[in-house]
Amino acid sequence: MKAAGFKFISLLAALVMLTPAFASAQSATDCDFARTLSQGDTGEDVKCLQVYLNSTAHKIATTGVGSPGNETTSYGSLTEAAVLAWQLANNIAGANGNFGPASQAKYAELTASGAVSTGDAHRDSLLSMVDQLQAQLDSQLAAAGQQALGAGSVTTPTPQVAGVSTNADDEDKEDAERRITSSMDMILDTFEEAENLDDDESDEINEDLRDVLEALFEAIEVYFDGDFDDAKDEAEDVLDDATDLYEDAGGESEESEAEDVLDDVRDLLEDVEDLFDEAEDEGEDVGDAEDLIDEAKDLLDSAEDEFDDGVYRQAISDALDAEELLEDAQDEIDIATEKDANTAVENAIDAYDDAKDEVEEAEDDGENVEDSQDLLDDAEREIKRAEAALDDEDWKDAVEFAEEAEDLIEDALDDIGSSSDDDEEEAEEALDDAWDEYRDVKDEIEEAEDDGDDVDDAEDYLDEAKDLLDEAEDELDDEDYDEVMDLVEDALDALDDAEDEL
């Protein structure tokens, strides 16, 4: 494993790169434009242009390729979009995303007039502090390396202090490193959030960040002194302060997100355990629910430990995995509660009332509602059965009757303005048309195969379409016309995919 000191220096370098003072200082460098730049061009002049744009309000990207510190030599669509935004903001005649003579003249005017900011006093001060600490860490690492070489070792240097056993302090050392790293990440995130604030708010955040950064430097120095326990505690305080600042700047910290996720999963665990106990008491089938709950509890325990250690991203990941297991456990438990039953019946009654009004309105408009009214009558009978089951405290039956009522209500709404004869005719016509389309696509595939084209994927989609149409024929015989229409639609999608493959 690499020495922690080198890891910290790398992180400090990242901090320098992302500090707005550094980015602004870089962008103040004059670019030499000897040609019109447009999409597809490559070269150092393109990269210089990207660095300049990233110092303005018209950044190439906020993260990833093209973002500050990650500029490239390629003039792609992101660069073109940023140039166009810059041109429009600066009233460039004929703005089109190409960086030509007019744009280059405006660039020269802006850079000559000092319009490119070199950063405010707070950020310049922070940059200076980073440079100073990096020099201190370089010195300490060099000394550690000399000590290791004097002992005849060629291993990567690590902090060494007389009377301190690094082997005995491995756990504190890892905790300290993790919290220092998390603090740096939070500081960088806060810098980015502060960019979106007005000048006064941004200055206030950056001034507070100066104090946080000083405290972080002290924690790192304590770490290099070999006092990992104190470094861990100091870094934890720094992380708390940095998190508060991040939230003040308008961000949602991983700590807050992790805490919310953990609270939600704990509540879900309690509900599922209560449901499991109730199902067992009533002799209901619980499937693999117990094993799933145990796995979820182990994951949740791990997530809580990670939260305590400040590893919030992993805590969120494990908590969400636990949530999935608990939802699976919930599905395994074959039980309906009184609350489930009451809710299902209430929903069915509301759906029935709304559907009845809609059917009556359609009848007033002269539409055919005969089948719809019959289905509503069936739904009303199912609702009465559900209400009777509620009175008998048979929650499971109540839910089943209510769900059946809702299915019938949905069918009633679908049948407004049609009769079963109309549905049959429509389904038959749609199925015939789909078979015609199938034969056309089949002919196209055969022609492509004769021409030596690769048609394997297209044939797979064709086979899928045929299976769906065969199934639709069966549903037509069973007079399930809605299902016929659904299968025909799926078959047509498969045929479209087959044509696309050609």
What does the pLDDT look like over 197-245, one tens digit per residue?
777 777 788 778 778 888 888 888 888 778 888 888 888 888 888 888 8
Q: What is the mean pLDDT of residues 44-50?
A: 93
- Whether 316 and 352 map to the same domain: the answer is no
pLDDT of 26 reads 39
- Whether 206 and 95 map to the same domain: the answer is no
Q: What is the mean pLDDT of residues 303-315?
A: 85
In a domain, 8, yes or no: no
- Whether 373 and 318 map to the same domain: the answer is no
> Where residue 417 falls among pLDDT bands split at 50, 70, 90?
low
- Whether 287 and 401 map to the same domain: the answer is no
- Whether 199 and 231 map to the same domain: the answer is yes
- Whether 37 and 99 map to the same domain: the answer is yes
- What is the rounded distance in angstroms from the CA atom of residue 259 to the CA atom of residue 304? 9
In a domain, 11, yes or no: no
- Whether 373 and 342 map to the same domain: the answer is yes
Q: Are 1 and 62 in contact (CB under 8 A)?
A: no
Tokens 């078959």, residue located: 491
- Whether 345 and 380 map to the same domain: the answer is yes
pLDDT of 64 reads 82
Contacts 24+ apart (CB under 8 A), 382-385: 382/348, 382/408, 383/345, 383/348, 383/349, 383/352
Mean pLDDT, the chain, rounded, equals 79
- Whether 361 and 305 map to the same domain: the answer is no
> Where residue 139 falls among pLDDT bands split at 50, 70, 90?
low
> If DSSP codes are grouped into helix, strand and coil, which group holds residue 489?
helix
In a domain, 47, yes or no: yes
Residue that finishes a domain, picked among 347, 380, 414: 414
Task: Output 225 or 484, whichever has higher pLDDT.
Answer: 484
Tokens 């009757």, residue located: 401
In a domain, 357, yes or no: yes
Torsion of CA 235, 236, 241, 246, to 10 degrees: 90
- Whether 300 and 346 map to the same domain: the answer is no
Q: What is the mean pLDDT of residues 376-398?
A: 91
16 CB-contact burial (10 Å; exposed 0-12 / middle 13-18 / buried 19+): middle
Q: What is the mean pLDDT of residues 353-382?
A: 90
Residue that finishes a domain, picked among 112, 134, 156: 112
Domain holding 190, by residue range, is: 121-251
Residue that finishes a domain, picked among 381, 414, 447: 414
Residues sharing a CB contact under 8 Å with residue 192, sequence separation 6 or more, in sequence order: 18, 62
Distance between the two ends of the chain, CA-based, in angstroms? 52
| Whether residue 462 has pLDDT greater than 80 | yes
Q: Are 398 and 344 in contact (CB under 8 A)?
A: yes
In a domain, 4, yes or no: no
> If DSSP codes are grouped into helix, strand and coil, which group holds residue 488?
helix
In a domain, 419, yes or no: no
- Whether 242 and 180 map to the same domain: the answer is yes
- What is the rounded distance in angstroms from the CA atom of residue 482 to the CA atom of residue 245? 58
pLDDT of 157 reads 37
Tokens 């047509």, residue located: 492
The total number of structural domains that make up the chain: 5
- Whether 142 and 196 map to the same domain: the answer is yes
In a domain, 66, yes or no: yes
Interior/surface letters 325-346, b for 16+ CB within 10 angstroms, e for the rest: bbebbbebbebbeeebbeebbe
pLDDT of 241 reads 86
In a domain, 332, yes or no: no
